[in-house]
Amino acid sequence: MNLSKVLGFSEDAKLLIIHADDAGLSHSENMATIQALEKGIVNSYSIMVPCPWFYEIAIFAKNNPQFDNGIHLTLTCEWENYRFGPVLPVSEVPSLVDSNGHFYKKREQLRENASLIDVKKELQAQIEKALKFGLKPSHIDSHMYSVAAKSEFFQIYKDLGTKYNLPVPIYKEMMETIGLDLETNIDKNDIVINKLHLGEFVDFEKGKLKNYYESIFHNLSTGLNLLIIHPAFDDNEMKGITVNHPNFGSEWRQMDFDYFTSQDAKLKLKESNIELITWHDIKNARIKISTK
């Protein structure tokens, strides 16, 4: 599918989604995400259903359907002192949790321990919880891209997209990093992101995240680009959640919020001949193609 053409753009259009991950993780994450949508240039976000602050952001999503939102399917919890587990009772998905009933911290632990039936049950339960709350998601995506920990998990992920008629973004860069084979796991009709943009720790460590983001606007490639950020505030709540975890920690998340709500970012975007699109646009384009 030539997405640019279907959406009414030229074939060499530079399409971009500026996406905020991890809504629902905390109150701080929610407030920063909302402000980034309302006052900044973020035009998409996704919600972690198992997290304690799901209810707050779900209310916002229901009351603000103009903002593109997806379900951030969650099978891992990477934080040291902030722990959560599945939406289903632990007794129903025992292979997904550690001895305390929490999700594993790492994809490797998930790969080694999780059964296919438990993965499918939990991911479907997260989608169903969001739908029953009254949300109208634009897509599904994956926290830490844990669905790519195993080919069988990845197929479940794609099958759920088909079942619920929701776009499923495919990140080739992440798949390669995790070690998932591209040839056997990507089909011709999949929505493959031409380029995934995600800040690296070295940029944060050297104080060059802003430079990295500006370079994206200046050098964006033709096709579908996805820029993932994690807006939150560098407050006591987020410092407690991200303790001993500077990678996507509270300071990094504050930097994301500051830049993507800045006048400078708005001007850079305007100067770069970039077309902002949403997952709703992509979903509607797929419907258009399927009905022809």
pLDDT tens column, 61-108:
999 999 999 999 999 999 999 999 999 999 999 999 999 999 999 999
Instruction: Give the pLDDT confidence score for residue 68 in this predicted structure.
Output: 96
Q: How far is CA 207 from CA 200, 214, 262, 265, in A?
A: 11, 13, 17, 17
pTM of the predicted model as reported, rounded to 2 decimal places: 0.96
CA gap 214, 221 in Å, rounded: 14
SS3 content of the chain, % helix, strand, coil (to 5): 50, 15, 35
Q: Give 37's Cβ-side CA count (13 Å radius).
A: 24
Residue 243 tokens read as: 């303790």
Tell me what the mean pLDDT of segment 241-250 comes to. 97
Q: What percent of the chain has pLDDT over 90?
A: 92
List the chain domain ranges: 3-290
For residue 269, give the nearest of 217, 206, 229 by alpha carbon: 217
Q: Give 14's Cβ-side CA count (13 Å radius).
A: 14
Beta strands in 193-254, from DSSP E residues, in sequence order: 195-198, 223-229
For residue 44, give the nearest of 36, 56, 53, 55 by alpha carbon: 36
Instruction: Give the pLDDT confidence score for residue 4 in this predicted structure.
Output: 82
CA dihedral for 47, 53, 57, 58, sign (positive or negative):
positive
Confidence of residue 189 (pLDDT cuts 50, 70, 90): confident
What values do phi and psi take at 109, rounded to 5? -65, -40
Tell me what the mean pLDDT of segment 262-291 comes to. 88
CA gap 70, 138 in Å, rounded: 5
CA gap 216, 235 in Å, rounded: 28
Q: Using an 8 Å Cβ cutoff, are 254 and 112 in contact?
A: no
Q: Give 53's Cβ-side CA count (13 Å radius).
A: 19
Averaged pLDDT of the chain = 95
Q: How far is CA 241 from CA 18, 20, 209, 210, 251, in A?
A: 24, 18, 21, 24, 12
Q: What architecture is the 3-290 domain classified under in CATH?
A: Alpha-Beta Barrel (3.20)
Instruction: Give the pLDDT confidence score for residue 230 in this predicted structure.
Output: 98
**18: β partners:** 227
Confidence of residue 1 (pLDDT cuts 50, 70, 90): low
